[in-house]
Amino acid sequence: MFKAFGINLAATLVATLLSTLATVLLIRYLTPTEWGTGAAALGLGQLAGALLSFGSQVERVRRYSLLDDEERASEARLDALARTGAAGAVLLVGTALLAAGLPAGAMVMCAAGVYASLGATNYFIAARRFVTAGVVVILEKALLFALVSGSILTDVADPLTLPSVQGLTGFLAGLAALVAIRSHLRRLSFLGHVRRLFGQYRSATYVGIASLAPSLLLLDASLVLLLSTPAQAGQFALASRLVAPLSLATTSIVTVLLPFMVRRTPGTALLSRGVALAAAASFFVVLALLVATASWWVPAAFGEDYADAVLPVRLYIANTFLAFFTRILVTAGQARHDDRATSLLVACQVVAALGGIAWGAHAAGATGAALSVVSTNAVLAVALAVRSKHIDRLSATKDTAS
């Protein structure tokens, strides 16, 4: 488990750095108003991609973890073929729309890339091939950084650059993962692949709700844009999208726990708690430094136009630490098949956060919207912790009775 964490953490840090640099360069290139519009388009595309996935990535990791090597590879290759084919079709539609001058094409492209990328490493994580999973993630973000920086250097970047590039690189990551899975492919008809895709959705209903609900928060920049001003949306989007790679890093790190938690033993239970506490302590130190120095590095990195984003950035960094705990608790609940309660708690937090973002944006702009996300996530962390304790007591009672 420690080896898995080390490999995954190193790969995640490199990928996060590349993704963050690409976002920073684009924010500096665009005006706050342009960035606010682009961030709204990016959020809508990412939400559509999460909707297409609907938690199937968690279902696959959990299912693959219980299979032997040969069956796992066979199942994963079939799933990857169906997923990559569907993502490729969506990507072609988005490209055609964008070529026709329709901005919605960039959002459709982004949706295809997010859908493909979310499933790219499922097999390798379940098979505990963390080096391969890390390589896939790093290659995707390296290509993203190269294309975004190249568009800026050639002065062709615009608010739709990031969503369209994310669509292309995410699809290529899914394609690379498909090629890397070595297995004898069972032949399926076209309808067989379609049934396979929908079968994953049916078996991941509550997992899908838990995975999709937080993605609805990607509507945040769009809500601020509608209920405040484009400039305030740009300030808010700087905070929410800047720390998004940190949130992705936490999700990636805790995902490593899932294969170990599915095959739960007393040893892995103790290890997972110890590793979680150590990771949380290290993470807290890093985030505390970022919060303390935000008044210096935000204007220095993005210019004085973004000086009003300092407080929203601080709030979102604090929210990242809360999200780290909630993701661990959600993953633990999914490993123990407590899908229904976990998904309902997450969904309630998202509904409350979206309502708070709308009210906060109207009343206090970017700061009000960010405060809503942090406060509702804090309540969710407490609720999930109470639920986890309750499940532990039930398990202990059953063990005693046995």
pTM across the whole model: 0.69
Domain with 70, as residue range(s), is: 2-401
What local confidence, expressed as pLDDT, does residue 107 receive? 93
How many structural domains are present in the chain?
1
Consecutive 10-residue averages of pLDDT for the chain (402 residues): 67 82 88 83 86 73 76 81 89 94 92 88 79 87 95 92 93 90 64 62 59 69 78 80 66 57 52 59 80 87 81 87 78 69 80 86 84 87 82 65 58
Distance CA 359, CA 367 (A): 11
